Structure 1
Amino acid sequence: MYRFLSLSTIRFYHKALTGLLLSAWVVGSSHAAIYHIDPTHTNVRFAIDHFKTSTNTGGFYNLTGQLEYDPVANIGNVSLIIPLNSLMTGDKAFDIALKSADFFDIEKFPLARFESTKWHFQRDKNRPAVTKVDGMLTLHGQTNPVTLTATKFNCYFSYILKKSVCGGDFTTTIDRTKWGISKYTLLGITEKVDLTIQIEAAKQ
């Protein structure tokens, strides 16, 4: 066909075809892969000052949810469901107290949820690095924004699972009174709670 076309016309068609192929590649690569949260490697741990003497710690386990991630397009999304009945502090009496209506009130609010709204990236040695994740935390029947700081995030191929796995560690500090949990703040237990979130998910 080309022998009947001018050189300029041929170059035009080649340029147009190249542009279409590039556009198709970009569109195809912008679809984030879906990963299912691994409950055995995903948890939320908390630390709160105890009358300025020591630090009480505990955690929530067996989380479920979904992760979406595309490092080429800098796209990320994560949703977590946190079963509050999984709370463990190492002290059964303290666990019961925290699960009561004075604090988490798990009979009325058995689940907490986190839904990301925006992921922040920066280039690190020519590789995209997750730096922060903004989102909404629903706890105790109330929803407020939080920002998680990524201390690390990476993906690798698991030879055990025979699939790609992504995960990382995140930290934040929340004011528990914003979620209506204010017991004993007037007696000296701080409203500030430090959270450490470990997330790991396997590609579907």
Structure 2
Amino acid sequence: MSRASLLKIIVSYRKPMVGLLLSTLAIVSSHAQTYNIDPTHTNVRFAIDHFNTSTNTGGFYNITGQLEYDPMTKMGDISLVIPLNSLNSGNEAFDIALKSADFFDIEKFPLAEFNSTKWHFSTDKKGSDITKVEGMLTLHGKTNPITLTATKFNCYFSPILKKSVCGGDFTTIIDRRKWGISKYTLLGMTEKVQLDIQIEAAKQ
């Protein structure tokens, strides 16, 4: 057999193998889905002790971003853009104070952002398989790592949107001083702030 004939046989053998490999990769990658954050079902709420007397609460709304989620390969990624002007505590005077340069300084820093760096999954099938999400929170011009604890996470087919929707609840406690927001800490107002994050995102 000539060398040319042998090469033709090898090439003809490799073509279907390459095609099979590409098809397999396409099937695997097709499991990774992209979801757009639904601003009407996504918010970041905060709670902070008020001089050991009561708890002040409020929230940020109209949040945008994207979610990548693949339960088969245990992969997740999320990015959130939080408009600080959407702050609502139910108290207009308190909102104005929080938006001022003493706290969030929204004229200088109108947005906060969260970008995940690592998702943690559990093998316990009794609850959500997502346990924690690590990421970077950018706020007040500073970026620091935080870890969100997942209290629940699930996906379902929305009869209203006619598409898959994923979402869940997450919580963490941060030290506001790390983001340069230390007003009144010397007077006894705690630096610890609890964040409760609710997200919901619809498949693209």
Structure 2 unmatched ranges of 5 or more: 1-12
How far 1:123 sits from its partner (Å)?
Answer: 1.5
Q: Which residue of 2 is the match for residue 4 of structure 1?
A: none
**Identity of matched residues, %:** 76
**SS of residue paired to 2:85:** helix
**TM-score normalised by L of structure 2:** 0.87
Q: Which residue of 1 is the match for residue 188 of structure 2?
A: 188
- Please list the CA deviations of residues 35-74 of structure 1 after superposition, one character each: whole Å capped at 9, or x if unmatched: 0000000000000000111000000000000000000011
Q: Which residue of 2 is the match for residue 153 of structure 1?
A: 153
Letter in 2 for 1:28: I
How far 1:112 sits from its partner (Å)?
Answer: 0.1
Q: Distance in 1 between matches of 2:123 and 2:21?
A: 22
Q: Does structure 2 retain, via aligned residues, the 8 Å contact 1:136–1:145?
A: yes
Q: Which residue of 2 is the match for residue 8 of structure 1?
A: none
Q: Which residue of 2 is the match for residue 162 of structure 1?
A: 162
Q: How many residues align?
A: 189
Q: Does structure 1 retain, via aligned residues, the 8 Å contact 2:128–2:154?
A: no
How far 1:25 sits from its partner (Å)?
Answer: 3.6
Q: Which residue of 2 is the match for residue 140 of structure 1?
A: 140
**SS of residue paired to 1:123:** coil
Q: Does structure 2 retain, via aligned residues, the 8 Å contact 1:69–1:76?
A: yes
Letter in 1 for 2:140: H
Q: Which residue of 1 is the match for residue 108 of structure 2?
A: 108
Structure 1 unmatched ranges of 5 or more: 1-12
Query: In the superposition, relative to structure 1, how do residues 128 and 70 fare at CA in structure 2: closer, same or farther (>3 Å)?
Result: farther
Q: Does structure 1 retain, via aligned residues, the 8 Å contact 2:128–2:152?
A: no
Alignment RMSD (CA, Å): 2.1
Q: Does structure 2 retain, via aligned residues, the 8 Å contact 1:74–1:128?
A: no
**Counterpart check, 1:75 vs 2:75:** yes
Q: Distance in 2 between matches of 1:125 and 1:115?
A: 27
Q: Distance in 1 between matches of 2:27 and 2:146?
A: 31
Q: Which residue of 1 is the match for residue 198 of structure 2?
A: 198
Q: Distance in 2 between matches of 1:37 and 1:74?
A: 20
Q: Does structure 1 retain, via aligned residues, the 8 Å contact 2:77–2:116?
A: yes
Q: Distance in 1 between matches of 2:126 and 2:50?
A: 44
Q: Which residue of 1 is the match for residue 27 of structure 2?
A: 28
Letter in 1 for 2:175: D
